[in-house]
Chain A
């Protein structure tokens, strides 16, 4: 069989790749270890969160699928950071771990351009450094123009619990045993990373009266710009807050050497995520803290699991029992599934172009945890971008590369390919320099146009966007001409205590609430927004200063040796990218700049 594209792996990255390729009209094959596990959520049960919620909206603006499926299957919705400013507001949904994958599987299975195959990809078919297809463990070969690897944590995955190491994917799935060795043979640098997941306990064995209830918001939201809410405020399921106790800490300290990470396993382990430490890490690193917050989160309406957020560990099962029972409300809790750490192979994302195509093999793309990231949303947005760019290349069109001032997705990919990863990468608002421009509320205004151009947003949705843009401009123009208390409404609205709904009756037309809010944000924060735009323009200038791809860093004298090594490794495409490489200092950039001037004077 021949396909336009093959996607290897059916996680959140793989789903977006498959969906976008198919919607671009390309015959796409999704190969997965198990069809039932497509879009599984093996770790936390939520989608979105700070920064990540904005990514989900960006995915939706571009024509991806995650937000639409999440909207249909959520158990609870919250707008985070509401009081901290419009730029940092972000949606988080408690997802349903049964309903979400099921809905995603339905969408993919019903698409005419998608074929799904159960199997294990063991090797790649390559000719002249160009991908031609994949080879399955059965020996079967499948030909395609492009391949996207979205293998998640499956490459050489090991589950770690106490002193045991078991070769297995997450939640007892089959690992991929040979692919990473074959990638290594092709010249990819292989990283060993690690992450973990907390225990799940049975809902009706928890005494919730000893915990604090955390309900969803009483305002309705959707991730997708095209959806109306599918849920009712009162139907949302609650989360619950509890804390570790002195006894928990004592149990952990007394048993520390039994944890895989603290001596349970003797050989050197992969690097775990800094922002997502195990409970052992927290007790060791923050000795003075009397207690740590833990959230009890429902996983599905279809089963009884409660996820203990903040309690990831690699302790042996008997210690986990004691730990769980030391928590208020969980004294008699029954553990349904034990916590574990998982170690897996990833590639060095510095081996990627901004399109997520590998520098080593043409038409081979990688997305998601294989690139050293962590999180469903991070994976999904890479899957989408890899899908879009593989599709554009097959269709012989210009690639889509999002800039740091256009999308969190742009920030994420640029960070990956420029800085590489030491530990699994999580998107944070603090990673975005121009985050006032990258708001949850304007993701459609920023990105829909691109989605339309690449063929993932249809005419009807695009027209809606144009109308929305026009209406926002109309509101702003109207406010510039109406006077309130002797001053123009435009300036009146800049006062912190004034809300656009206070003056909406002065407008001659009726407008949608979202359009009004958008105009309000643009007016109220105009000064700060302008400042951010100015900063972004500085960056763009450096971005436009291209570095020739044949530059020989060994010929540039006086570069600090660390900078030389880093520049050779990353081979930045522009000064903007070069200055973001850690270990490349401003003085190195000056030297590079001087050299480039000479280079161009001499060779032009």
Chain B
């Protein structure tokens, strides 16, 4: 644990400079061995000009930041070497550090140390990992939001509400003879469980958006063969990723492309056309297309304006009716043969070759991307957190039901405690002593 780790912290070979970060007990000592000035004598949080030297040769002209524990990212001594950006120079410096006894950091290890050293709570640590791995500006904003502890704050608020109820129940149990300590009525618990249900539901809903921001919208294009799915994909991503021919069944596997709409990543999957087929390769493609329906966030369902609706089309309409979908009628430049009997749904009439903007606008509307763009984010940004919150919400709803079933207040507390534990797990904190401290600070008791 106390070994010294190092890694190149900037994208390799891109910028004008690269930063090599070193953290650990021996960070200063190790860098000192390859630097031409004595870093043990400089003040903390200073940046120092000098040279990286190896076997009396100058490797690079650098600026070296010295940050001494504990006021650093990892709470350990940290050195950051700003070297010149080239791959070979940067790698050379890294090699020298390894030679002098530092160890190459594992991915995320600086953050792990920050967490283990108590610098970040679990949510913050995970957000940092998200930040490192984020692909777009928005995911970066989201990750940063976690670091500021917005979610921690919200969850703490909920936990405090629950602790309040519990300490009240506990006082009623431990001091049953004190009639003037407010006897918690089930109505009051209900009030709080309503509050929690509302908060968690909002959090989950916003987290779904958070997931979209971070991971993108998984979009599949569905339709019978040769309705122009691949052409739509190509127009959206402006490149010929899918092979476009007029022979039905050309797209046999699943093709992916990415575009950004209002900064949100759209992961588009073009699918093999849905038809009954005996061709084995194509058959696998068709099955895969259908299985993707469940996993997708958005379905673009394409019909051919030039052909009448058939059984396969009807099945597709039925299979996607509960999903977020956009119905597109393609080939509007050809004579109308299609009769779609659909109410309450917007139908886009396009010709893939020129009306693709219409489709983009419809996607923006469907996901309120304008809103996401402007809003402050309070999202859970990883699936571990989301799963836990879902579990907590489930329990909170059970609590509501048990209240109506006249379950003993002491039993209800078991569920309340479990919700607290789950929420504490979300933020990586333990529970125990807070409750008793609260009892004594809030209530007036005695012999």
Which A residues contact B (CB, under 8 angstroms)? Answer: 43-44, 50-51, 80-81, 83-88, 198, 214, 274-279, 281-282, 285-286, 289, 291-293, 295, 309-310, 312, 419, 428-431, 433, 435-436, 496, 525, 528, 531-532, 556-558, 560, 579-580, 582, 585-587, 590-591, 594-595
- B118 contact from A50, A295, A560, Cβ within 8 A: A560
A–B Cβ pairs within 8 angstroms, 8 of them: A85-B409, A277-B446, A279-B446, A428-B436, A433-B432, A496-B407, A556-B1, A594-B116
B435 contacts chain A at the CB level, 8 A cutoff:
yes
Q: What is the size category of the interface that chain B forms with chain A?
A: 35 or more
- Cβ contact within 8 Å between A276 and B409: no
In the complex, residue of chain A having the shortest beta-carbon distance to the beta carbon of B407 = A496
- Cβ contact within 8 Å between B447 and A591: no
Shortest C-beta distance, B77 to chain A (Å), equals: 13
- Cβ contact within 8 Å between B1 and A275: no
- Cβ contact within 8 Å between B411 and A430: no
Q: A277-B445, A428-B170 are in contact. Are A293 and B411 (CB under 8 A)?
A: no
Shortest C-beta distance, A522 to chain B (Å), equals: 14
- B444 contact from A50, A286, A591, Cβ within 8 A: A286
- Cβ contact within 8 Å between B446 and A281: yes
Contacts of B406 in A (CB 8 A): 496
Most B-side CB within 10 Å, residue of A85, A198, A310: A85
B239 contacts chain A at the CB level, 8 A cutoff:
no
Mask: chain B, 1-32; 1 = CB below 8 Å from A; 0 = not: 11000000000000000000000010000000
Contacts of B173 in A (CB 8 A): 50, 81, 84, 88, 429-430
Most A-side CB within 10 Å, residue of B435, B436, B444: B444
Q: A430-B435, A525-B411, A594-B1 are in contact. Are A275 and B170 (CB under 8 A)?
A: no
Report B418-447 residues with CB < 8 Å from chain A CB.
418, 428-430, 432-433, 435-436, 439-440, 444-447
- A590 contact from B116, B170, B175, B433, Cβ within 8 A: B116
Q: Give bound CA distance, A198 to B405, whole Å.
A: 44
In the complex, residue of chain A having the shortest beta-carbon distance to the beta carbon of B120 = A587
- Cβ contact within 8 Å between A87 and B446: no
In the complex, residue of chain A having the shortest beta-carbon distance to the beta carbon of B439 = A430
Shortest C-beta distance, A337 to chain B (Å), equals: 16
Given A84-B176, A590-B116: 11 more A-B contacts, CB < 8 Å: A81-B173, A85-B409, A87-B410, A87-B411, A310-B446, A428-B170, A429-B173, A430-B170, A496-B406, A558-B117, A586-B429
- B446 contact from A51, A275, A430, A595, Cβ within 8 A: A275
Q: A277-B446, A430-B170 are in contact. Are A557 and B410 (CB under 8 A)?
A: no
Q: Give bound CA distance, A430 to B167, whole Å.
A: 8
In the complex, residue of chain A having the shortest beta-carbon distance to the beta carbon of B119 = A587
- Cβ contact within 8 Å between B408 and A85: yes
Contacts of B2 in A (CB 8 A): 557-558
Contacts of B113 in A (CB 8 A): 558
In the complex, residue of chain A having the shortest beta-carbon distance to the beta carbon of B121 = A587
Shortest C-beta distance, B345 to chain A (Å), equals: 44
B414 contacts chain A at the CB level, 8 A cutoff:
yes
Report B146-203 residues with CB < 8 Å from chain A CB.
166-167, 170, 172-180
Q: Give bound CA distance, A87 to B408, whole Å.
A: 10
B115 contacts chain A at the CB level, 8 A cutoff:
yes
- Cβ contact within 8 Å between B174 and A428: yes
- Cβ contact within 8 Å between A558 and B176: no
Q: Give bound CA distance, A306 to B177, whole Å.
A: 18
In the complex, residue of chain B having the shortest beta-carbon distance to the beta carbon of A580 = B432
- Cβ contact within 8 Å between A85 and B418: no
Q: Give bound CA distance, A419 to B432, whole Å.
A: 12
Contacts of A285 in B (CB 8 A): 444
Q: A282-B446, A292-B444, A558-B2 are in contact. Are A582 and B117 (CB under 8 A)?
A: no
Contacts of A591 in B (CB 8 A): 1, 116
Q: Give bound CA distance, A595 to B167, whole Å.
A: 36
- Cβ contact within 8 Å between A293 and B436: no
Top 8 A-B residue pairs of the complex, sorted by shortest distance between their CB atoms? A85-B410, A85-B408, A557-B2, A430-B170, A286-B444, A277-B446, A274-B440, A80-B176
Contacts of A595 in B (CB 8 A): 1
Contacts of B428 in A (CB 8 A): 586-587
In the complex, residue of chain B having the shortest beta-carbon distance to the beta carbon of A82 = B176
- Cβ contact within 8 Å between B414 and A198: no
Shortest C-beta distance, A83 to chain B (Å), equals: 8
Shortest C-beta distance, B180 to chain A (Å), equals: 6
Most B-side CB within 10 Å, residue of A198, A279, A310, A587: A587
In the complex, residue of chain A having the shortest beta-carbon distance to the beta carbon of B431 = A433
Q: Give bound CA distance, A361 to B66, whole Å.
A: 50
Most B-side CB within 10 Å, residue of A83, A274, A309, A532: A274
Q: Give bound CA distance, A430 to B116, whole Å.
A: 30
- Cβ contact within 8 Å between B446 and A531: no
Contacts of B174 in A (CB 8 A): 50-51, 428-430
Contacts of A560 in B (CB 8 A): 117-118
Q: A88-B410, A293-B179, A293-B180 are in contact. Are A585 and B118 (CB under 8 A)?
A: yes
Contacts of A430 in B (CB 8 A): 166-167, 170, 173-174, 435-436, 439
Contacts of B446 in A (CB 8 A): 275-279, 281-282, 310, 312
Q: Give bound CA distance, A381 to B151, whole Å.
A: 45
Contacts of B177 in A (CB 8 A): 80, 214, 293, 295
- Cβ contact within 8 Å between A582 and B433: yes
Contacts of B436 in A (CB 8 A): 428, 430-431
In the complex, residue of chain B having the shortest beta-carbon distance to the beta carbon of A584 = B430
Shortest C-beta distance, B25 to chain A (Å), equals: 8
Contacts of A282 in B (CB 8 A): 444, 446
Q: A198-B447, A277-B446 are in contact. Are A85 and B411 (CB under 8 A)?
A: yes
Mask: chain B, 109-133; 1 = CB below 8 Å from A; 0 = not: 0000101111000000000000000
Contacts of A293 in B (CB 8 A): 177-180
- Cβ contact within 8 Å between A558 and B180: no
Q: Give bound CA distance, A508 to B254, whole Å.
A: 68
- B1 contact from A431, A558, A582, Cβ within 8 A: A558
Q: A428-B436, A587-B115, A591-B1 are in contact. Are A289 and B444 (CB under 8 A)?
A: yes
Contacts of A286 in B (CB 8 A): 444
Q: Give bound CA distance, A182 to B429, whole Å.
A: 42
Contacts of B409 in A (CB 8 A): 84-85
Most B-side CB within 10 Å, residue of A83, A282, A293: A293
Shortest C-beta distance, A512 to chain B (Å), equals: 24
- B410 contact from A84, A291, A295, A556, Cβ within 8 A: A84
In the complex, residue of chain B having the shortest beta-carbon distance to the beta carbon of A275 = B445
- B414 contact from A43, A289, A431, A532, Cβ within 8 A: A532
Contacts of B1 in A (CB 8 A): 556-558, 591, 594-595
Contacts of A81 in B (CB 8 A): 173, 176, 410
In the complex, residue of chain B having the shortest beta-carbon distance to the beta carbon of A80 = B176
- Cβ contact within 8 Å between B418 and A531: yes
Report B369-427 residues with CB < 8 Å from chain A CB.
405-411, 414, 418
- Cβ contact within 8 Å between A429 and B170: yes
Most A-side CB within 10 Å, residue of B25, B166, B435, B436: B436
- A436 contact from B115, B405, B414, B433, Cβ within 8 A: B414
- Cβ contact within 8 Å between A528 and B411: yes
Q: Give bound CA distance, A25 to B405, whole Å.
A: 53
Mask: chain B, 32-56; 1 = CB below 8 Å from A; 0 = not: 0000000000000000000000000
In the complex, residue of chain B having the shortest beta-carbon distance to the beta carbon of A285 = B444
Contacts of B445 in A (CB 8 A): 275-277
In the complex, residue of chain A having the shortest beta-carbon distance to the beta carbon of B417 = A433
Contacts of A278 in B (CB 8 A): 446
Q: Give bound CA distance, A384 to B155, whole Å.
A: 44
In the complex, residue of chain B having the shortest beta-carbon distance to the beta carbon of A274 = B440
Shortest C-beta distance, A463 to chain B (Å), equals: 33
Contacts of A277 in B (CB 8 A): 444-446
Shortest C-beta distance, B303 to chain A (Å), equals: 51
Q: Give bound CA distance, A52 to B226, whole Å.
A: 79
- Cβ contact within 8 Å between A84 and B408: yes
In the complex, residue of chain A having the shortest beta-carbon distance to the beta carbon of B443 = A286
Contacts of B435 in A (CB 8 A): 430
